[in-house]
Structure 1
């Protein structure tokens, strides 16, 4: 205490604070242990100084007395005006500043010199986590006016430490190579620039050790242990060496499998869910998954809080395990009420008709999950969450609270795109997927390109009946100039009116039936003998009536950039007897997506189409033929260029009545991550396909079907969902092109089309 303060107690009549610049006086009074009217002694004034110092706001505190007035004199610590980071390349500035903010270092906060050590420690922690153990950090503090400082941190990152070797000691049953396959970490490979598997991380190593433990426990090594783990770094801090010591133990077999507790469902329904067998090696993963399947079954029967535990009883002498599944189903739970919130535009009925979980019915975890998936597939919501709180005071009832975050369901689009096959694309459309919140779809579209113009009006009611049968109407007009599209000298004007119905078969599959009237005006050019002969035999104006049927099944996890699941679609159309042209077309599509790793996905695609005439129409009208080649078919070949050609004239491609195309592709997001993780895909592909004219025709060559005509290509692809449209690029290299084939290595398209 200052000399002006006497040892004798005195009653404080007033308190005055001096030296404040930024901090409010009220903040001081909140921390002071005395108030006006209190008696103050030497011990109390010491508490005042300690209390104010403990705030960290002040570099100096004095307590003085002037009569009965207690005077507190403070010197504020400077404020941090700015934090400058230089030299950081592998870690973003925002990421580093977030780490500094967690320890109290941020612009606008009070600066404490003791924090510099903590700053450097925090930055080293972040760089060590990124594998940069040779990082050097130097901090400088520069005073500024108005009691502020600027903190400058210079970083020399150094080289990323790479894993040079991983040694496993004590393994006898399995080789090092087989065990290291379980690790994400490893020595440098040709693909390490992408996966970064050679960059050491304590968290990654912990995950790898758990995978190693699971590997042994899933093969019957019940007493497997990791006895030690040592990680050392080379003197130049550029190489990491990991040594793992293990004890395998013996292999244990399953002696017996038991069920205990109250299952509430027939035992014969539970045992098929247990994928362990007596006499085989014990597997922890099989035991865990079996318990989960039993829980799911009980959950689907209304026992939402069922608890199933697989407890092993180990016989050390005989090296055997008895597995007992203890089942505690709890009470059967019922749904009292389903509540909707967040749907300010969408009507409740639109959400409720997608719910598979019903009120006053047993609560089913499976039905709740399916309900959420169906709501997400509507496309009206950015996010769908479902919570199941217990009803207060009731142990056997829950509410189902559905919360949605709506996104704009209308789309007003006017844009310009470019495609190598169709030139400049102009498009405009108004689409409302959730018209007036009813779930009905209404769209109007206008598209023009060098080769075609499209005008369309469509309407679909997905719940024309309460059972989910949909009904839609479609009116459109399309004019196509095949001379601009494929070089063939003919054009078509097509107008159509269609009504269609859809029937839900399951949550992921639908069947459809449609009826269509189609008017076609065919214009034959002077240089196409094929077109002229067609007009001579059939005329140039056609009124046709079609019946269409389709079936689709879609179990993909996403419609855009899926990583797993399948998509299949079968479509058929036939012009009914009495139409001017009598023909039919069938088309099969298939997509399969297999997630290889967290980033890599393997995709298989196959398309098969066939058409033919019947009755008075000898064959499929050639302007309804299938085509192959181009970005969406067989990359590396010019769009629509593969297959038979017209013998006379300009040797133009005319497509075929049989199409077969497919591809194998591996794709992944770019290694830079960030905002491009969900909008960009890089791929490597193998495409194949062609079209055939199966009927004999002297004006077309070749004719007939021969699998040897399949064309192959391989290359690289790039896809980007940019803010202004979808951009796709490919470098395709034909593997078996013929002299007449039109190849095109670089292909791209940009913009939105319908």
Structure 2
């Protein structure tokens, strides 16, 4: 039977969807349902979307419901309903499946950000394509480009059909150039000049050509932030009634220039008449009022009001009241231009910690991280202890980022969980070096150190060096939590064979093996004290003859065999103190660290000497995000002998002298070349007098030879200043892995025991350089340059380009240095 057809139930769910529904003008009982056009969607699945079953009575209203339900499944883009006898026929056209999604021409938006936005709209590979959504996505992307000043931007979604009802989806971008700010006008400002008001604005105009860091393209969000800065500028100076009356943003016809005009009312200054604290401050009202910066008679300052609210909130948070409400209610008196401030405090409930969780630590065990957390489960929540816990975790060298959040427990308004979200970085370092020099030739070295061995937080290192000047092997171990109280225990075993002539120091060879142990005690969160004891056996041979070293050798050799090897044992006791408030273990940007150590050999050792070293670093962040920071460094050292042997005063063994030059001391100078040099003496045994008879030679006729090699000294002072800047072409999220800094290094190594007057009048070998007063600490060196550091999978890499600013005769300046496995 031929069906009577009526136009009914054309449902338009969006601008790109339509339905063609055909029904009868009378009801009928459905004897069967036939669905035509299905490809991917199973018949059973399609039937489940229909609110009609066999045996139901169908009318126009039920047809409308059926079509609505099928469209809501998001699988179909066209639907037609018809009747063949008492059989319901539903003809569908399925939406195509997205095969690929590509982006072309997008510079200001990353592919990941675009895909995230598409995911939120259900546009992803393998899903059916709803073409009706594409128009809104295109418009949304255009709105984004308009907000950053790109008013000529175009976004097109291109759909390319493929076999088997599939499509390729491509978003094509033509961003164009951002509109530049041609001028910003403030109308109505009489108290402050435009230059004063624009000083802290991010948006700039008419900037000099060399100020390439300024932001001159128009961005709507940035303008809103600058307007808030303008408001704060006035409010912080007492202009409580300041207001931006209107804002006009106009565009050039070419859409490449923007003019901004702000109409403002400055008002008059208001002073604080009274400050009152109301509510419940948990009995700390007197203390809070004493430390508040708000004082009667002073100008109103919005920044101080905000600081006061934050201070009270943080202060109450120390006692477990993590969610207090602090509100400042101003009572403005326009007649006498005063304002009374009422601080209303509601501490809320004391919050307790149910559980502390760690997320993101795939290597480090929870137990290791928990050892650094001072916030305890079952106690009240304290923001101070949470911040301390975060800082302690951040100082671990194998942690790149640490954040925490408090999660409220449903149904319990006084209990939270604390989640520490960490991002680990490589805890092991592969130390390697390669170099070539006129004297050192090719040199290689390698080593492995693991600061987080098997995720236990223990440090294990094995280093082997085969550089031209040394062959050595060393095993080190340290357990920072040997006891639950934080007592550390460590030790080391090492062996080395050293050739000073290839180390840029005076000629001598040595063999040394040593074994040591150390134990550390925490004083508090930031301070620690360590004790150590090391036994060493040293053999010196193949030595050169220098005035400074003979004073040491003379204690162990006899006149009958002056060239014999020297061997001595020593037991070195040490104590050190360290303090660390840095915000991170690697690449810190704020805080400071100090370390002082004193070591001395026991009286029964073959050599008696002591050494003391002080090292300090301070980081001063220059910006709120701490991407710009200043580092100041200072390192001081001094050592000498004590006691005597056979009436001769003991001196510091020259093998323990300080040296300077290189990546970790004075960049711009060859390693270990800065400081005193070895002095050799050439003497005549006899001379012939006027009568032709031999006479003993006059020591004043001796000739001295100044070595090209450094001897080092028993005193050291090194320092420097670095400006840490964002690394060009590197994203902000890589700041914890890559660091760029401009530096100035300065320092010197000298010998307090050197007797300059004893040598200054002697003849010098013409092949030697000038004799310097090696006891003069003022013979400093300095350099400046740029350094780039990268925490690579093999360990820290350091690239330095530097130029010597102050050098002395005989110094070996170097423009470029490269190190693997060393950072500072």
Using structure 1 for the length normalisation, give the TM-score: 0.89
Q: Secondary structure at the match of 1:749?
A: strand
**Is the Cα contact below 8 Å between 1:386 and 1:400 reproduced in 2?**
no
1:239 maps to which of 257, 260, 277: 257
- The answer to whether residue 722 in structure 2 is matched with residue 687 in structure 1 is no
2:632 maps to which of 593, 598, 604: 604
Quote the residue 1:592 is aligned against: 618
- The answer to whether residue 731 in structure 2 is matched with residue 661 in structure 1 is no
Alignment of 1:87-106 (within 5 A): 87-106=105-124
Q: How far 1:557 moved relative to its partner?
A: 1.0
Q: Secondary structure at the match of 1:709?
A: coil
Q: How far 1:552 moved relative to its partner?
A: 1.3
Alignment of 1:49-64 (within 5 A): 49-53=67-71, 57-64=75-82
Alignment of 1:341-490 (within 5 A): 354-358=372-376, 363-377=381-395, 398=415, 411=428, 416-418=432-434, 424-429=443-448, 431=450, 433=452, 437=456, 440-464=458-482, 467-490=485-508
Quote the residue 1:513 is aligned against: 531
Q: Secondary structure at the match of 1:44?
A: helix
Distance 1:78 1:210, change over 3 A: same
Quote the residue 1:581 is aligned against: 607
Name the count of aligned residue pairs: 749
Distance 1:527 1:129, change over 3 A: farther
1:625 maps to which of 615, 637, 657: 657
- The answer to whether residue 712 in structure 2 is matched with residue 651 in structure 1 is no
Q: CA separation in 2, counterparts of 1:207 and 1:248?
A: 19
Q: Secondary structure at the match of 1:250?
A: coil
**Is the Cα contact below 8 Å between 2:754 and 2:775 reproduced in 1?**
no
What whole-Å deviation, never above 9, does each CA across 1:82-134 have from its counterpart, x for those lacking one? 34433334544444444444445444444455555434323323433444333
**Is the Cα contact below 8 Å between 1:409 and 1:433 reproduced in 2?**
no
- The answer to whether residue 49 in structure 2 is matched with residue 31 in structure 1 is yes
- The answer to whether residue 743 in structure 2 is matched with residue 717 in structure 1 is no
Gaps of 5+ in 1: none
Backbone CA RMSD of aligned residues: 3.5
Range with bigger deviation, 555-564 or 362-371: 362-371
Q: Which has the larger radius of gyration?
A: 2
Q: How far 1:736 moved relative to its partner?
A: 2.6
- The answer to whether residue 746 in structure 2 is matched with residue 746 in structure 1 is no
Quote the residue 2:574 is aligned against: 548
**Is the Cα contact below 8 Å between 2:505 and 2:672 reproduced in 1?**
no
**Is the Cα contact below 8 Å between 1:417 and 1:752 reproduced in 2?**
no
Range with bigger deviation, 91-100 or 5-14: 91-100
Q: CA separation in 1, counterparts of 2:89 and 2:581?
A: 75
Distance 1:2 1:234, change over 3 A: farther
Q: How far 1:534 moved relative to its partner?
A: 3.4
**Is the Cα contact below 8 Å between 1:435 and 1:442 reproduced in 2?**
no
Q: How far 1:385 moved relative to its partner?
A: 6.8
Q: How far 1:282 moved relative to its partner?
A: 1.4
**Is the Cα contact below 8 Å between 2:444 and 2:467 reproduced in 1?**
yes
Distance 1:12 1:157, change over 3 A: same
**Is the Cα contact below 8 Å between 2:405 and 2:418 reproduced in 1?**
yes
**Is the Cα contact below 8 Å between 2:246 and 2:264 reproduced in 1?**
yes
Quote the residue 2:552 is aligned against: 534
Q: CA separation in 2, counterparts of 1:521 and 1:393?
A: 74
**Is the Cα contact below 8 Å between 1:524 and 1:531 reproduced in 2?**
no
What whole-Å deviation, never above 9, does each CA across 1:469-508 have from its counterpart, x for those lacking one? 3333332223332211114211333322323232222211
Q: How far 1:138 moved relative to its partner?
A: 5.0
Q: How far 1:17 moved relative to its partner?
A: 0.5
**Is the Cα contact below 8 Å between 1:525 and 1:532 reproduced in 2?**
no
Q: How far 1:529 moved relative to its partner?
A: 5.8
**Is the Cα contact below 8 Å between 2:394 and 2:584 reproduced in 1?**
no
Range with bigger deviation, 562-571 or 382-391: 382-391
Q: CA separation in 2, counterparts of 1:276 and 1:6?
A: 80
Using structure 2 for the length normalisation, give the TM-score: 0.82
Q: CA separation in 2, counterparts of 1:670 and 1:406?
A: 21
Q: Secondary structure at the match of 1:23?
A: coil
Q: Secondary structure at the match of 1:652?
A: strand
Q: CA separation in 1, counterparts of 2:402 and 2:154?
A: 46
Q: How far 1:724 moved relative to its partner?
A: 2.8
Q: Secondary structure at the match of 2:295?
A: coil
Q: CA separation in 1, counterparts of 2:58 and 2:378?
A: 70
Q: CA separation in 2, counterparts of 1:320 and 1:677?
A: 47
Q: Secondary structure at the match of 1:577?
A: coil
Q: Secondary structure at the match of 2:66?
A: helix
Distance 1:262 1:79, change over 3 A: closer
- The answer to whether residue 248 in structure 2 is matched with residue 230 in structure 1 is yes
Range with bigger deviation, 602-611 or 73-82: 73-82
What whole-Å deviation, never above 9, does each CA across 1:692-740 have from its counterpart, x for those lacking one? 2222245794235546422222222212222233221121112233442
Distance 1:142 1:560, change over 3 A: same
Q: Secondary structure at the match of 2:290?
A: helix
Alignment of 1:256-271 (within 5 A): 256-271=274-289
**Is the Cα contact below 8 Å between 2:798 and 2:823 reproduced in 1?**
no
Range with bigger deviation, 671-680 or 283-292: 671-680
**Is the Cα contact below 8 Å between 1:550 and 1:569 reproduced in 2?**
yes
Q: How far 1:634 moved relative to its partner?
A: 2.0
1:637 maps to which of 669, 678, 685: 669
Quote the residue 2:694 is aligned against: none
Quote the residue 2:687 is aligned against: none
Q: CA separation in 1, counterparts of 2:134 and 2:479?
A: 65
Alignment of 1:176-195 (within 5 A): 176-187=194-205, 188=207, 193=212, 195=213
**Is the Cα contact below 8 Å between 1:715 and 1:733 reproduced in 2?**
yes
Gaps of 5+ in 2: 6-21, 558-565, 680-704, 761-770
Q: How far 1:290 moved relative to its partner?
A: 2.2
- The answer to whether residue 168 in structure 2 is matched with residue 150 in structure 1 is yes
Q: Secondary structure at the match of 2:106?
A: coil
**Is the Cα contact below 8 Å between 2:578 and 2:593 reproduced in 1?**
yes
**Is the Cα contact below 8 Å between 2:409 and 2:417 reproduced in 1?**
no
